[in-house]
Structure 1
Amino acid sequence: MMPIVSFASSVLPAVQNGKFVKLGGVSLLALTLAGCTTFSKDAGMEPVGAQVSSAIGAQTLKIASKADAKAAASRVKLLLTQPLNADSAVQVALLSNRNLQAEYNALGVSEAAFVEASLPPNPSISLGGTLQQGSLDIERRLVGSLLALLTLPARKAIAEKEFEAARYRAVEATFRQAASARKAYYRAVAARHRVTYLEQARASTDAAADLTRKLGETGAATKLDQARAGAFNAETSSQLAAARLEAGVTREALTRELGLWGADAGYKIPNRLPSLPKKLQTSDQAETEAIRKRVDLIVARLELDALARSLKLDNATRYVSAFQLAGFANFERSKNDHGEVEKDYPKGGTLDLELEIPIFDFGETTRRRNVETYMQAVNRFAAKAVAIRSEARSALLAYRASNDIARQYRASIIPLRKVISEEAQLQYNGMLIDVFELLTTTREGIETNVAAIEAQRDVFVAGVDFQSAIIGGGAGGGDE
């Protein structure tokens, strides 16, 4: 607890012709120290766009005018004239998703805070008057915070660090949106791929059920064989219905990530997933790359730096938390016998300096609180770095494993299933196996092909997660 002490001195010369002598030393000093920052043309988006383009090869745009909105809409319309691929889906999302635009607005808010922090503190002016015995006493008061003025360069440096951190947060939000759109795209295409395959499978089971029924009419197939073929056909139809439902749901999830609605929501996507990449773009140095490139870790480092500067400023000013200079001027305005207002007469003036004296608290509470606050931030930063290293290793393991699984399906399992299906059909035609064995073989083949499609999807999703683990924008953000 600090008592407030005021010091006042008479300053009659401070009033001339009913006005303050310019206590403009304060304003002049403020302008000297400020080095006022001005707003950028694009609210800080140029570095964001450059980093996004370099990292993921996509263009980003903050929609701040009708011209921007028109340009973005035209680009999106052009992209939607062709079936989307993963890259064009990401580009549409970066131009259309409004949540991402909100993140860019947050960057603009941060720039405004930075500019504000570079400006001199605003003085306060008050005016009061007392009417007595035909005369009017007027008091004018101008108050300015000397402490805020003297700490202006330090506060500006802190705000600059915070603005830089905000730019990286905008980059991270862009990476996150791109990753979400890309994963939603692969899931939607995989669901369509599954529907396409099951439609072909159901056509085969329809034909098998119809043939078995006709054979039953001639006595060549038992009632049990007919029931098994019918049940298998119905099960395949149910699988197809479930696959169509999933295709619809995943498409809507993709539509949300793209930020599309109305006629634009009728975009086209392929019926099949692309081929597996011939070579994985992985690195044994994933850990090191993640620590160097992860934007959320860069943000944490900048925030830690800003906090250190802020706490240093607190420590430097902990003995004086209030330091204000106020100028007072009193005037008397009176009327003559004819009721005319006579000239204002100065009655006096004072300068009042107000500061707190640390009688009961010598700043120790502030110092201890700052130490604990800083160490808390340091420990959280270190924990984030550890988590990011682990995320990079896990993402690399998942990417390699999912690729191995998908290639195993493509190289071995699917070809073997094809051989089994062909041999089973030959043996059935030669009456060496019954309908039950043939249907079981066919059912297993369908399940294997569906699993292969899912494994192929998982490779692409794991690839997105791996890239996010290196550059940022993943769901975990180093906090899991």
Structure 2
Amino acid sequence: MNCLYKLASSAGLALLLGGCASLSGDGGFSAAAGISEQRTGVAGRLPRNEDDERTLAAIIDKKLEQPLAADDVVQIALLNNRGLQARYWSLGVAEADLVQAGRLQNPVLDFKRSHGGGEVGIERTLTFNLVGLITAPMASRIEGRRFEQAKLLVANEALKVAADTRRAWVDAVAASQIADYAKQVEASAQASAELAGRMRKAGNWSALDLAREQAYHAQTLADVTHAQKAAVSAREKLTRLLGLSGAQASAYRLPDHLPDLPSAPRELADVEQTAVNERLDIQAAKLDTEHTASTLGLTRTTRFINVLDLGAVRNTDGGTATRGYELSLEIPLFDWGSARVARAQATYMESVNLLAQAAVDARSEARESYAGYRASYDLARHYRDNVVPLRKQISDQTLLRYNGMLMSVFELLADAREQASAVSGYIAALKDYWTAQANLEAALGGRLPTNKGVQP
């Protein structure tokens, strides 16, 4: 009987302590935002009322006054992307589960009154869930890991939005630059076609030569349309990631061209280990495995005690009051819990193998991204230092020879087309480089370190 009273006292103390657990007020957002800020350099924000919304709109409007650099669009996306805002709010659900796990189930009070034969019977029972009391610390630890995992996953989602936005910015700027250059090429082709028409009228060109120039001009017109269509599509993809609509969607401006190629690529020592150590999805997978292991331990502890309730009983039968206690226990005659244990063990091994595969994937993605980054840099540098300068040198020499009447107009026009092709190739190579850098950052879980003396 003394043991029972001690157990009931412990239950009351646990209830009192469980009632002290409270919500943080921001649903764990500050912690998740701090993690993503360390890796992106941009602080997120979770608007909670109209004042917050107005403050956020003012920040975005201020940014939109100038052409948006890559870091600017990342900041806007982390502040204004609605899908990401929804993920921020999901942290509140995880925190509520954590707080709920720290609180025991409420006690149940049963009251029964009966009468018959001139006598009145009254029965009062106060019941506590002992299983909840026994497993509360473990349940709190499990939900604590789940909450930490949720913060990592939300922070990782912020990194994904940042990487997607940076890539979309590269695509949009490059597409606009290509469209502008396509217009220049079309204007040059139009001038060539008009020249060909005059030469044909003068009898100096054949019908075939004229048709060739006209066909080239027609192709450049198609290229302009195609480039403008791609530019609109790329801009709209960026707009969606930024969460902009209405006047903001049409008013924001981008730079006229991509940033220049850095003087040297980033030198990274061990990209595989960096990815395994730094990627938030790997850290979240580790916590998931730990959570599964804890769940397995809980299953083993309670497989024989499915329903265990303790009740303090006070009965009044007629004029006589009786006191005692009531204990309910499920007897494991048919179900010994082996199926639940086997299920938990299989779930744990599934989690272990998923974690191992995630690590394999992270290492491979890091290697692939770094190789692509270096190859893209080398190709863009080749265009910048060799192809474009040589094409310009050839063009200059061709123009001199044409002015000296040592070359025909056919050769001059052919050289102009080849020079246009070289410039277009450099723009594409530069786009691939900046995209490859964004891919590498995503594969490593954060911004790349800046090499000393190297333009970022």
TM-score, scaled to structure 1: 0.85
Contact 2:295/2:344 (8 A) holds in 1: no
User: Within 5 Å, which residues of 2 pair with 1:427-446?
Assistant: 437-446=411-420
Which residue is 2:302 aligned to? 317
Return the letter of the residue paired with 1:469.
Answer: A
- Residue in 2 that maps onto 1:270: 255
Q: Quick check: 1:368 aligned with 2:342?
A: yes
Q: How far apart are 1:70 and its partner, in Å?
A: 2.0
1:283 matched to 2:257? The reply is no
TM-score, length-scaled by structure 2? 0.89
Structure 1 position 33, deviation (Å): 5.8
Structure 1 residues 32 and 347 mapped into 2: Cα distance closer, same or farther (>3 Å)? closer
Name which one, 1 or 2, has greater alpha-carbon Rg.
Answer: 1
* 1:459 alignment partner in structure 2: 433
Match for residue 325 of structure 2? 351
Contact preservation (8 Å) 1:295, 1:472: no
Aligned length: 442
Query: In the alignment, residue 41 of structure 1 is paired with which amino acid?
Result: G
Aligned match of 1:478: none
3-state SS of 1:92 partner:
helix
Residues 176 and 472 in structure 1, CA contact (< 8 A), matched pair in contact too? no
Change (3 A) 1:460 1:194: same
Q: Taking structure 1 as reference, are residues 420 and 138 closer, same or farther at Cα in structure 2, changes over 3 Å only?
A: farther
Residue 294 (structure 1) shift? 0.7
After TM superposition, list the pairs within 5 Å mapping 1:3-14 onto structure 2: none
SS of 1:151 mapped into structure 2: helix
1:214 counterpart = 2:189: no
Residue 36 of structure 1 contacts residue 115 of structure 1 at CA under 8 Å; is this kept in 2? no
| 1:411 aligned partner | 385
Q: CA contact under 8 A between 1:232 and 1:439: conserved in structure 2?
A: no
Match of 2:91 among 107, 120, 123: 107
**CA separation in 1, counterparts of 2:238 and 2:264?**
27
2:169 pairs with 1:185: yes
Conserved in 2, the CA contact under 8 Å of 1:89 and 1:182? Answer: yes
Aligned CA RMSD, in angstroms, stands at 2.7
Amino acid across the alignment from 1:179: A
Moved more, 28-37 or 171-180: 28-37
User: Do residues 52 (structure 1) and 36 (structure 2) align?
Assistant: yes
CA distance in 1, matches of 2:219, 2:208: 16
| Closer, same or farther: CA 34–228 of 1 in aligned 2, 3 Å | same
SS in 1 for 2:255: coil
1:65 paired residue number:
49
Q: For 1:17-416, what aligned pairs fall within 5 Å after superposition?
A: 25=9, 27-31=11-15, 34=18, 36-127=20-111, 139-265=123-249, 266-329=251-314, 348=322, 351-416=325-390
1:373-402 CA deviation, whole Å, 9 max, x = no partner?
A: 222211211111111111111110000001
SS in 1 for 2:39: helix
Unaligned ranges ≥5, structure 2: 448-456
Amino acid at match of 1:157: R
